[in-house]
Chain A
Amino acid sequence: MTALLSLAGLTRRFGGLTAVNALGFDIGEGEVVGLLGPNGSGKTTALNMISGALKPSGGQIVLRGEPIGGLSAHRIARKGVARTFQLVRVLPSLTVLENVLAGLAFRGEPLWGEVAQGEADVLLRKVGLEGRAGEAAEQLTYIDQKRVELARALAARPALLLLDEWLAGLNPTELRTGIDLIAHLRDTGTTILLVEHVMEAVRALCGRCIVMNAGTKIADGETSAVLREPDVVRAYLGTAHA
């Protein structure tokens, strides 16, 4: 089986700091993989390199057999990599509907006009925003902004979806809803790399986990086994986060 995404020796330095150090792993088609690690361990930097927001200092990123490391973000997006952001980023001056239309209009196979409207309706229903199309995105509550962001990412019909702490900051009820939503995506075959601190979500969603500490991968395997590994426990106990 060839991997959907394959990282090898992926490295990013900021001045003297090596934020991601020789990171390597494969993700198969349809897998939902958790990427864990204490704050500052390099998870977002890794996502930024995969999505093209940052250029790698070294190493390879291969998507479906094609090297994409160092390409500009819009090229990578058009190849089917979609993402959400750790600090939610809706397009504030656009409506909910326009946010999703923007996700459809510039993907690899762009969708525009009436077809796009229909597709946007489907996506809004999928994330629980039916009937909210005309609302201004910047006036939505936090969870609804997260829904918009997810719908916009799904609009790309992504081969690979990168979620950066998409569940952070939700209250328990919202968290349940959020987990169910991602579970639904998993069950319909979306490949997801999920950066997450909420252990409940990781256990519920990810069959496999990768753990980073100080830029380096320290564990990779079946979720419950990984979470019991002494190195992982130590990495987490050593920081404020748990």
Chain B
Amino acid sequence: MKTALGFAVAAIVFAVLALAPFYLDAYGIGLMIGMTGYVTLASAWGLFSGRTGYVSLATVAFFGMGAYTVAVLNETLPYPVILLVAGAIGLLVAAVVGFSTLRLAGVYFVIFTFGLAELIRQLVTWFETTVTGTLGRYIFLPIGPEHIYWQLLVLCAATLLITWWVGRSRLGLALRVISDDEVVASHIGIDIARTKLALFAVSAVIITLVGAIQAPRWTYVEPAIVFNPTVSFLTLIMALLGGASRLWGPALGAIPLFLLFEWLSANFPNHYSILLGLLFIVIVFLLPRGVAGFAEDLMRRRPGGTPAPAKPAPTPLRSEGGEARP
């Protein structure tokens, strides 16, 4: 019942959003494209990082690969096929990268993913300058902004749907078990590496597609534009602000922050990065569990809300023997 209502509301919201190009001017549509893109990026980021605790800075690596695939293939293949190829490339790279790095713990994974984005940018730059001899590429595709927007909207809805489905699936239970206790997880038969890899791959394919779909908007593409690390940081901040592990959390963070960044970069183009950094610090400091988590806490504290579960007293009857933990 609650699920059906949620679906109805979401369907109406997306239907209304789909009508936006009919009453917005070019600037407005551009804004909606950017916003939908970041909602999708942040949601896809949260789908993996919010549920596994692996903080990824590889967002722009996949985003850029998607855009570059379109730039390279736009004159040779039909557009839908290009999108498929982009998705396949994202999947392949995610599989290789995930397989070799998901064993890395915590901060090493963060550094690796950041390095990956830089590495891919350098590789593309090197390839373009030494092999093809041109750094930039033009994208001439007869795709209007409203079509880009609609495609992104569909991808965004699909991302939220996948996230919702994961939450109720065996995969979702596996993720919750893993985040509670990896030792227990492996001893009840969960293949931890495969579970994380599956989620990393899904998230990476979505991010790659965001880059591919947005590419025709740029007309001119070069590595420094599509592999700009700011994309990774913005995505991360948005998802964290909203609450990376919730269904709607990343969207809640992405919308206000995207608008704020637009305003900042228009009005303070020179101090934009500093303000961004400051904001990041403030967010982590004030809302460590994100807006969604903060809202839940508020609801709990309200007399009518569900009471917050009291922290249990430490169990008094622990055995003394030290256990060998693997």
Q: Which residues of A line the B interface, CB within 8 A? A: 19, 39, 44-45, 48, 51-54, 72-74, 77-78, 82-83, 85-89, 91-94, 98, 101-103, 105-108, 110, 112, 136, 138-139, 141-142, 145, 152, 155-156, 164-165, 168-170
- Is B72 part of the contact surface with A, judged by Cβ < 8 Å? no
Q: How far, in Å, is A91 (CB) from chain B's closest CB?
A: 4
Q: List 13 A-B contacts (CB under 8 A).
A: A44-B321, A73-B186, A74-B186, A74-B189, A77-B188, A82-B188, A87-B323, A94-B180, A105-B173, A139-B309, A142-B317, A142-B318, A164-B323
- Is B304 part of the contact surface with A, judged by Cβ < 8 Å? no
Q: How many A-B residue pairs have CB under 8 A?
A: 110
Chain A residues in 8 Å Cβ range of B180: 91-94
* Bound Cα distance from A19 to B192, whole angstroms: 27
- Is B133 part of the contact surface with A, judged by Cβ < 8 Å? no
- Is B184 part of the contact surface with A, judged by Cβ < 8 Å? yes
Contacting pair A106 B189 (CB below 8 A): yes
Chain A residues in 8 Å Cβ range of B179: 93
Number of interface residues of B (CB under 8 A): 30
- Is B176 part of the contact surface with A, judged by Cβ < 8 Å? yes
Contacting pair B183 A112 (CB below 8 A): no
* Bound Cα distance from A170 to B317, whole angstroms: 7
Q: Quick one: which of B57-115 are within 8 Å of A by CB? A: none
Contacting pair A102 B188 (CB below 8 A): yes
* Bound Cα distance from A78 to B180, whole angstroms: 20
Contacting pair B324 A156 (CB below 8 A): no
- Is B296 part of the contact surface with A, judged by Cβ < 8 Å? no
Q: How far, in Å, is A96 (CB) from chain B's closest CB?
A: 14
* Bound Cα distance from A141 to B316, whole angstroms: 9
Contacting pair A101 B188 (CB below 8 A): no
Contacting pair B187 A53 (CB below 8 A): yes
Q: How far, in Å, is A205 (CB) from chain B's closest CB?
A: 18
Question: Which of A53, A102, A139 sits near B312, CB closer than 8 Å?
Answer: A139
- Is B170 part of the contact surface with A, judged by Cβ < 8 Å? yes
Contacting pair A93 B315 (CB below 8 A): no
Known A-B contacts A48-B324, A102-B173; the reply to A141 vs B189 at CB < 8 A is no
Q: Quick one: which of B148-178 are within 8 Å of A by CB? A: 170, 173-174, 176-177
Q: How far, in Å, is A41 (CB) from chain B's closest CB?
A: 11
Q: How far, in Å, is B189 (CB) from chain A's closest CB?
A: 4
Encode contact with A along B207-227: 1 for CB under 8 Å, 0 otherwise.
Answer: 000000000000000000000
Chain B residues in 8 Å Cβ range of A164: 323
* Bound Cα distance from A44 to B173, whole angstroms: 28
Known A-B contacts A92-B180, A94-B176, A139-B312; the reply to A72 vs B186 at CB < 8 A is yes
Contacting pair A112 B170 (CB below 8 A): yes
Residue of A nearest to B325 (CB): A53
Encode contact with A along B282-326: 1 for CB under 8 Å, 0 otherwise.
Answer: 000000000000000000000000000110100111110101101
- Is B190 part of the contact surface with A, judged by Cβ < 8 Å? yes
Question: Which of A48, A54, A85, A142 sits near B315, CB closer than 8 Å?
Answer: A142
Chain A residues in 8 Å Cβ range of B170: 105-106, 110, 112
Chain A residues in 8 Å Cβ range of B188: 74, 77, 82, 102-103, 106-107, 152, 155-156
Contacting pair A169 B318 (CB below 8 A): yes
Known A-B contacts A52-B186, A73-B186, A107-B189; the reply to A165 vs B324 at CB < 8 A is no
Contacting pair B321 A136 (CB below 8 A): no
Contacting pair A86 B187 (CB below 8 A): no
- Is B25 part of the contact surface with A, judged by Cβ < 8 Å? no
Known A-B contacts A87-B318, A106-B170; the reply to A44 vs B324 at CB < 8 A is yes
Residue from A91, A93, A94, A139 whose CB has the most chain B CB atoms within 10 Å: A91
* Bound Cα distance from A145 to B177, whole angstroms: 16
Contacting pair B309 A85 (CB below 8 A): no
Q: How far, in Å, is B2 (CB) from chain A's closest CB?
A: 17
Chain A residues in 8 Å Cβ range of B187: 51-53, 73-74, 77, 82-83
* Bound Cα distance from A93 to B312, whole angstroms: 12
* Bound Cα distance from A82 to B191, whole angstroms: 15
Question: Which of A94, A101, A108, A170 sits near B189, CB closer than 8 Å?
Answer: A108
Q: How far, in Å, is B227 (CB) from chain A's closest CB?
A: 36
Chain A residues in 8 Å Cβ range of B177: 91, 94, 102
* Bound Cα distance from A169 to B317, whole angstroms: 5
